[in-house]
Amino acid sequence: MSLSPAFSEDRELVTRLNDLWRRAESGTPRFGAFMDERAVAVAEAFCRRSGVNGELYGGFNGAARKMAGFFPPWQEPELSAYPIKAVELTLPKGARLTHRDFLGSLMSLRLTRESIGDIVQGEGKCHIFAQATVAPGSMNELVKVGGYGVKCGECAGEVAPAKPAFEERRGTVASARLDNIIKLLTGLSREKGAALIASDQVMLNHIVCPEVDTRVREGDILSIRGHGRFRVEETGPVTKKGRLTIVCAKYT
């Protein structure tokens, strides 16, 4: 399979995905490592454009970090087949820990970032998704996080993704073009917004977007270097003056 020019910056990733797909065609499901949101977006585009029998999954609905799974043409993708294991850490009462605390402790066990999926914090607990080959064995060694003693056990029940905090941004634009939306969200002129786009400092759905006239749609995720990350909540209605109402949520 020849690679689309759209994937030129991610050729190595696409080559790995293509190899997994080809190997799965021989009759055995194949799985990659955990990927960050940008790589997941590239992998999803690869699956759509190539029409492969594959799916992205991170261990639970709503996961951000996922692994690619490819299955033989005659086999339906099975989420239970993914080599993902969830472990549950019980935290002491009053423990104040951040995502960085948990990730740092995991890295101290000589685990790679690609072997760890989402880290979902809750009240008194933290759920960690990892490749089955490293969990729970390696993480049984995890006895302290950020100076607090923790207990590692099996995850019981469904895990809900953590709800991010948002700050609403609202305004009107001439159209849903990318440069118009950036002007609204940053307060910069369209020319300066276009310069951000041209210098690869704007990502749309985790992929660099070089076109100022790209149409932005509801549900899109915009990352603007130096200005934050936004989710487009509403595009419309049109005002009496013919301008389009835009509502975005900024991740805080």
64 with 125, same domain: the answer is no
Answer whether residue 122 is part of any domain. Answer: yes
User: 33: domain CATH number?
Assistant: 3.30.1370.160
- The pLDDT of 30-55, averaged and rounded, is 91
pLDDT tens, 131-178?
998 876 777 788 899 889 998 887 766 776 666 778 899 999 999 999
At 7, the pLDDT band (50, 70, 90 cuts) reads very low
At 28, the pLDDT band (50, 70, 90 cuts) reads very high
* DSSP H/E element including 248: strand 244-251
13 with 69, same domain: the answer is yes
Answer whether residue 206 is part of any domain. Answer: yes
Please count the CA atoms within 13 angstroms of the CA of 187 that sit on its side-chain side: 4
CB atoms within 10 A of CB 235: 21
What's the pLDDT at 4?
41
Q: Where are the beta strands (DSSP E) in 162-227?
A: 166-173, 202-204, 207-208, 221-224
108 with 174, same domain: the answer is no
Question: Would the pLDDT of 108 be above 80?
Answer: yes
Q: Is 109:139 a contact under the CB 8 Å cutoff?
A: yes
pLDDT tens, 13-27?
999 999 999 999 989
Answer whether residue 159 is part of any domain. Answer: no
Instruction: Please give the tally of structural domains in the chain.
Output: 3
Q: Is 243:174 a contact under the CB 8 Å cutoff?
A: yes
What's the pLDDT at 156?
67
User: 118: domain CATH number?
Assistant: 3.30.70.330
Distance CA 200, CA 211 (A): 10
Q: Which amino acid is at 113?
A: R
Answer whether residue 160 is part of any domain. Answer: no
- The pLDDT of 184-206, averaged and rounded, is 91
Report the mean per-residue pLDDT for the chain: 88
Q: What percent of the chain has pLDDT over 90?
A: 60
Answer whether residue 9 is part of any domain. Answer: yes
pLDDT tens, 81-100?
999 998 889 999 888 888 89
- Which DSSP symbol is given to 164? P
At 6, the pLDDT band (50, 70, 90 cuts) reads very low
- The pLDDT of 8-37, averaged and rounded, is 90
> The domain containing residue 100 runs over which residues?
84-154
Distance CA 92, CA 240 (A): 57
At 9, the pLDDT band (50, 70, 90 cuts) reads low
104 with 59, same domain: the answer is no
pLDDT tens, 123-144?
888 999 999 988 767 777 888 9
Q: What percent of the chain has pLDDT over 70?
A: 93
Distance CA 238, CA 252 (A): 28
Distance CA 7, CA 27 (A): 27
Report the number of secondary-structure helices (H) and strands (E) in the chain: 5, 15
Q: Is 66:82 a contact under the CB 8 Å cutoff?
A: no
- Which DSSP symbol is given to 91? P
